[in-house]
Amino acid sequence: GRTLTPRKLSLKGDNLLVAEFSRNLGQITIEAVSKGEYITFTPKEITVQDVEMLTFCAVSPSPQKYLGTMSGMSSDDESGVGVRSLSLKVAMSRQHSPRLLSASSESKYGLTDVSAAIAAGPRSELTTIFKTMEQNEPVPKSIHGGPHALESNLTRGSYLFADLRAADTDLWIKLAKQGGFEFIHLHGWWKTLGHYDINRGYYPNGLEDMKKTVDKIHDAGLKVTCHTLTACIDPRDPWVSPVPSDDLIATYTYTLAKPFAKDDKILYVNEEPGPKHEVIWSYSCNGNAIKIGKEIIQYTEISREEGNYCFKNCTRGAFKTTPQDHAQGAKADYLQQRYIAFYPDPDSKLADDLADAIANVYNTLGLDGIYFDGSEGMMSRYGIDTMRWKIFQRLKNGGITEASCWGHNSWWFHSRLGAWDHPVWANRRNHDAHVDQSLRFRLADLVQPQLGWWAPRGPSTHARGHFPDEMEYFGAKNLSIDGPMSIQSVNVSRNPWNARIQEMMTILGWYERFRMANYFTKEDLLPLQGKKADFRLRMDDNGQWKLTPVAYNWHTATPSSNSWSANNPHKAQPYRGRIEALYTIHQLNQKVQPVLIDFAEIDQMDEKRSRSGQIQQTLSVVTEDTKLAPKNLRIQAVNQSDSSRGAWTIVGKNYPHPYHSMQNGRGFGFWVKGDGSGALLNLQVCTPSVYHGAISDHYVDLDFKGWKYVKLLLRERDSDRMADYEWPYSTNAASHAICRNAIFPNALSSVKLIINEIPAKGGVDIIVSPIISIPQTKNNLENLALSVNGKSISIPVVMQSGDYLELEGEDDCAHYDERGELITRFKPVCPNGWPTMNEGDNSITIQASSVQQALTPRVEVVSMNLGNPFGTRSDKVDWKYLKDEYELPRTIHAQDGLSNKLNVFRRNEQGKSPNDNPKLEIELYVASAGANTQAYADASALVLDSCDNLEHYKASERNDYPKFAFDSENQGTAKPGVTFDTALMKSQYAPNGSLQFNARSARSDTAGWAAIGRRFDKPIDISNGKTLAFWLHGDASGSTFKVQLRDVKGIWHDMTTSVSFNGWKYVEFNLAGAKLDLKQVEYILYYYNGLPAGRTIDSATTEGTLVSCAISPVKILSDTSTLDTPTLTINGTSIAFPVKLESGQTLVCEDEVNWTVLDISRKPIAQGKLTTAFPKLKPGPNPAILTFDNMKDETFNARLAIIKHYQ
């Protein structure tokens, strides 16, 4: 454990340095070789005994402004000094203060004959020096990584994550081009991690189909990269199941203290179990798998009692290995696990085979880059570096390379730094922090930044989805520093998670193309870097692209806080804003809602502390004037300092495994007796790291006196405000725990009350009732009215929680559901005209009432104020990136002169561009040609399933539907942990009642599902039908309802819809493109998927949350609505398309002449030529309207996309 420093250093010969140690402990000989622009150092001989680590190259650099994470360089704007490892066996370290760069060898890998180098020079020459080093030394070489990264013509481009099926290749190409991406990044292409066989669900013919897909993307002018999990080996992979490899890394190794028969459940060992053991199996923990011979077991309990070391409750033959008898003295390996994967010894044949498997796919496909994700799962510097070198050096063209951890030795081929997992909360604050970090990469590490992985998320039970302005914020910040980015969690489905994805990708594409083209001057881009500084990028009425500052003002309104003041820092302007209907919690009912924590049980609280030396905390129990219990907690704290900043006190309880449960609650209800001190009360709940780790703060401003009932929801954590205060824990916006990971409601590791901002030379004195865990619920709001400076806007819609309104003007108001699906465009009632936001403070009031009177109406109102547009074209625009320009897609619901009106803009670059007169490409997708409820109600409609006889859905030898219900792990009527039943529900759509499907999941995840099914008396012919329709009663659970038809040959067709609504909803699916034989439909199955989680893995204290839906008769309709003769009129010139479009069909006209109609599978079914010429656009906005012939008085949903091609 000693650190030895030599007492003498001498030169021997021309290039040998001899370091001698006192007391004749020995010496070290190091070869130093000058190679012109750098010097290498190589330990040659060590006579000192028992050396574990040797630091043989170190420098204390003078330039210290930047410190490279991967480059090993310390630099400033004028010069730099770097220490570079030249061997996998050398570890490079960086010390901040005092600044020190050093290289070391380790005895377990070899102390001698390994090298490192020192280089120094002016900043302008640093990349040249490192290139020379790369060429001369035995390190990996890449023209896109390390010293070449900033000069590569590929590293500026962004990539789009694509779980891409070969059949959808064209759609992915289209989406990538729309978003301005240079690369499509293939993800999920493997069957299992390890062997990396091809996912036949994506590529039916394996590598052959995948190669055709890559070639097609290349032919479209895009590059292709692939995702890997580096060294991860899936437990389902043949290297684990059914016979595990002996080369899997073990964290600990034990010997059996007793024989372990194949039926035994307790494994006794001679050695004390190490501290890294976990008792659960989860993505983010070390796992509970032990390998003995060719069997893997899993345990759930550990004994560290001396003389009784053992692992209990063992599951034998885990991961489909075979239970076996094991002799006393046999070796037992605790397998290293992370990300539901095991790992190979880096120097083993298994590691070589894994590298070969990845390289084979990469080289066969001719890919352009790779991402080494999950590298850190190797859990050692040497393991991480070795696996990445092994894989990269097998690639024929290494291409663009990124990785999830940034090891020094991989810098030689690393192209970009900085990918973060996308945020869920505090999106702006998270991305500001990301930009701050990324600003240094070009200077510190000589590589490009990477500002992804961003995701335009849709809604979930634990968080709302993202809005288009958040995507615009992302794009603007990337533009501000010329930062490449990446996008994940999108797909090419017509019903994406976030229904506004097309709009978001269009906006992102604007920013990305202008970034790649270097369109704006550097001076114009500087303001975009400002923290929480929002902008809009739009073309103005003169055809000029401009950036406009946007000031946002957020306010959460309830009946007690429905009036406030909003500041407009810009000039007076018409009001713009967004109103979101928020979720709420159920009415307080202590008979059925559990107490989460009672802080009055002071002795049970194991955390009672305050900021040292400043805050004095006093806790006591009060018994008079209490709420929810005979005893309440009184918290008093005195701040003796001169500042309220960081003046905090804590009381709370920590929960070890198996943790603490909110049961069915997703919100909190409690009473606070405030003191008007102005301090901040924070109810904080946390989830342990084994369940991803999350910190959820929920703030109550103590600006009131007396009792106040407080309602807080898990989904509304205060991650954005955290940085406004100083807390006794990190508030880093990069933290997954703060901005990304959801609280696991049934595995809380702590519940705390924290009071902060205690007044200087003052104090707080509050009383808190028990905290009740209460379920969250959706609410329906009506009678909405917004008043701005006394002028009222009456809003004629009913909103459900999650819905939001966008108000951009009296003729530009839209109502969206929580997925962002447009419900309607509407014209509000403004008796005194549309209100104005004055410069400075403005008075705003909102009124709303709940349809369910027991629920409190809650809304978030966001006011938006625009500043003065700006933006100057640079002198070096690369116009090839601006040859295509996308209009915002328009969703049209009605032929009312409001929904179907739009503007088509044309640029005017005043002669600086190659061409400002575009050709138009038109795509009109018909999501719904109209809900054909009339055809559904008609007696001639074919009733496929009456849904009124429960006997039809009982599994039997004949009705063997359970064999068809399965996922990758289970088969049967339900996923383990899920219970369900059926009943008949009264319905206006079915005289004999509707089929009610009730399910509960006691699982720890949302992978729970249940299925019921019916086999018809004989196969039914529905081939004359065009759609399948039914009425569905939902409970807004967010689960997924799926209908599956199966023919006599077992081929099936799935139809899914989200149960994100309350009450009855008409659902209709187009049958076009179904693969099964519609003349011989044998089964119909109903699935309830994505059921809400109900417990931890170890707890059985809850049955789970009840979800319920009901289905009224399922019918086959042969008569379908159509949209006839779509006609686009621009500047008074009409272009009529002689077609009738059904639901699911798409009209495409790419060249202003030839049109094609595509069916739901995007196969051509009709073609023709236009006889009317498209109009020439004038600079700026061109009024347009889309109309249809013979429109009936019914709703429809058509989406119009226009692309302008500047040749």
Burial 966-998 (b: 16+ CB within 10 A, else e): eeeeeeebbbebbbbebebbebebbeebbbbbb
Domain boundary among 835, 866, 897: 866
Distance, CA of 931 to CA of 632 (rounded, Å): 56
Distance, CA of 816 to CA of 828 (rounded, Å): 15
Are residue 616 and residue 692 in the same domain, yes or no?
yes
Give the contacts of 853 (CB within 8 A, at least 6 positions apart). Answer: none
Give the pLDDT of residue 1120: 84
The answer to the question of residue 957 being in a domain is: yes
Distance, CA of 359 to CA of 989 (rounded, Å): 58
Residue with tokens 């999108």: 490
Domain boundary among 775, 801, 835: 775
Give the contacts of 387 (CB within 8 A, at least 6 positions apart). Answer: 230, 231, 344, 346, 351, 354, 355, 372, 375, 378
Give the pLDDT of residue 397: 87
Does 421 have pLDDT greater than 50? yes
Contact 989, 1042 (CB under 8 A): no
CA distances from 542 to 163, 619, 878, 883, 1177 (A): 41, 67, 22, 19, 12
The answer to the question of residue 875 being in a domain is: no
Taking only the tens place, the pLDDT of each residue in 611-644 is: 988 999 999 999 999 999 999 999 999 999 999 9
DSSP letter for 509, please. H
Contact 314, 302 (CB under 8 A): no
Contact 477, 529 (CB under 8 A): yes
Give the pLDDT of residue 1101: 43
Give the pLDDT of residue 1097: 35
The pLDDT-based confidence of 921 (bands split at 50, 70, 90) is very high
Determine what percent of the chain is predicted with pLDDT higher than 90: 90
Mean pLDDT of 204-209: 96
Residue with tokens 């559990």: 594
Domain boundary among 752, 775, 798: 775
Does 663 have pLDDT greater than 60? yes
Distance, CA of 515 to CA of 158 (rounded, Å): 11
User: Which H/E stretch holds residue 171?
Assistant: helix 169-178
Taking only the tens place, the pLDDT of each residue in 219-232 is: 999 999 999 999 99
Does 1100 have pLDDT greater than 50? no
Taking only the tens place, the pLDDT of each residue in 45-88 is: 999 999 999 999 999 999 999 999 899 999 999 999 999 999 99
Distance, CA of 1156 to CA of 1139 (rounded, Å): 10
Distance, CA of 1024 to CA of 1028 (rounded, Å): 11
Beta strands 890-892 and 1197-1205 are antiparallel
What does the mean pLDDT of the chain come to? 95
Nearest to 386 by CA among 441, 343, 421: 343
Distance, CA of 1111 to CA of 945 (rounded, Å): 10
Are residue 57 and residue 127 in the same domain, yes or no?
yes
Are residue 1113 and residue 999 in the same domain, yes or no?
yes
Two tokens, residue 710: 């407080």
Are residue 990 and residue 1084 in the same domain, yes or no?
yes
The pLDDT-based confidence of 1098 (bands split at 50, 70, 90) is very low
Give the pLDDT of residue 860: 98
Instruction: Tell me how crowded residue 396 is: count the other CB atoms within 10 A of its CB.
Output: 11
Give the pLDDT of residue 452: 94
Contact 780, 852 (CB under 8 A): yes
Could you tell me which residues are beta bridge partners of residue 772? 595, 669
The answer to the question of residue 588 being in a domain is: no
Give the pLDDT of residue 715: 96
Crossing angle (nearest 10°) for helices 468-480 and 501-517: 10
pTM of the model: 0.92
The answer to the question of residue 245 being in a domain is: no
Distance, CA of 394 to CA of 409 (rounded, Å): 17
Structural domain that includes position 926: 883-930+1121-1205
Range 823-828, long-range pairs (CB < 8 A, 24+ positions): 823/797, 823/893, 824/797, 824/893, 824/894, 824/899, 825/893, 825/894, 825/898, 825/899, 826/795, 826/796, 826/797, 827/898, 828/793, 828/794, 828/795, 828/796
Does 354 have pLDDT greater than 70? yes
Are residue 379 and residue 268 in the same domain, yes or no?
no
Contact 766, 755 (CB under 8 A): yes
Taking only the tens place, the pLDDT of each residue in 943-999 is: 999 999 999 999 999 999 999 998 877 889 999 989 999 999 999 999 999 999 999
Taking only the tens place, the pLDDT of each residue in 878-888 is: 999 999 999 99
Taking only the tens place, the pLDDT of each residue in 240-278 is: 999 999 999 999 999 999 999 999 999 999 999 999 999
Are residue 186 and residue 297 in the same domain, yes or no?
no
Q: Is 540 helix (H, G, I), strand (E, B) or coil?
A: coil
Are residue 659 and residue 613 in the same domain, yes or no?
yes
Give the contacts of 1039 (CB within 8 A, at least 6 positions apart). Answer: 1058, 1059, 1088, 1089, 1090, 1091, 1092, 1107, 1109
Give the pLDDT of residue 1093: 67
| Number of helical (H) and strand (E) elements in the chain, helices listed first | 12, 77
Does 1095 have pLDDT greater than 60? no
Are residue 355 and residue 502 in the same domain, yes or no?
yes
3-state SS track over 966-1011: ECCCCECCECCCEEEEEEEEEECCEEEEEEEEEEEECCCCCCEEEE
Distance, CA of 409 to CA of 146 (rounded, Å): 10
The answer to the question of residue 422 being in a domain is: yes
Burial of 430 (0-12, 13-18, 19+ CB in 10 A): buried
Give the contacts of 84 (CB within 8 A, at least 6 positions apart). Answer: 38, 72, 92, 103, 116, 117, 118, 119, 130, 133
Crossing angle (nearest 10°) for helices 169-178 and 207-219: 40
The answer to the question of residue 917 being in a domain is: yes
DSSP string for 890-925: EEE--SSSSTTEEEEEE---TT-SS---PEEEEEEE
Give the contacts of 290 (CB within 8 A, at least 6 positions apart). Answer: 267, 296, 297, 298, 299, 311, 332, 333, 334, 335
Q: Is 852 helix (H, G, I), strand (E, B) or coil?
A: coil
The answer to the question of residue 1180 being in a domain is: yes
Nearest to 761 by CA among 647, 650, 609: 647
Q: Is 1154 helix (H, G, I), strand (E, B) or coil?
A: strand
Does 1072 have pLDDT greater than 90? no
Are residue 914 and residue 941 in the same domain, yes or no?
no
Determine what percent of the chain is predicted with pLDDT higher than 70: 99
CATH number at residue 738: 2.60.120.260
Contact 760, 642 (CB under 8 A): yes
DSSP string for 97-120: TTTEEEEEEETTTBSSS--EEEEE
Distance, CA of 643 to CA of 762 (rounded, Å): 10
Helices (H), 647-744: 736-739
Does 1103 have pLDDT greater than 80? no
Nearest to 1204 by CA among 1157, 553, 1184: 1184
Distance, CA of 388 to CA of 403 (rounded, Å): 9
Give the pLDDT of residue 1099: 36
Are residue 16 and residue 120 in the same domain, yes or no?
yes
Contact 421, 453 (CB under 8 A): yes
Cα 405 to its chain centre, rounded Å, is 19
Give the pLDDT of residue 1192: 66
CATH number at residue 1133: 2.60.120
CATH number at residue 182: 3.20.20.80
The pLDDT-based confidence of 1004 (bands split at 50, 70, 90) is low
Q: Is 1022 helix (H, G, I), strand (E, B) or coil?
A: coil
Nearest to 147 by CA among 124, 131, 125, 123: 131
Two tokens, residue 1155: 């049109």
Give the pLDDT of residue 1194: 66
Are residue 1079 and residue 1129 in the same domain, yes or no?
no
Are residue 894 and residue 964 in the same domain, yes or no?
no
Residue with tokens 């699916």: 1069
Question: Structurally, how many domains does the chain consist of?
Answer: 7
The answer to the question of residue 153 being in a domain is: no
3-state SS track over 775-827: CEECCEEEEEEEEECCEEEEECCCEECCCEEEECCCCCEEEECCCCCEEEEEC
Mean pLDDT of 300-325: 96
Does 1096 have pLDDT greater than 50? no
DSSP string for 86-99: -STTEEEEEETTTT
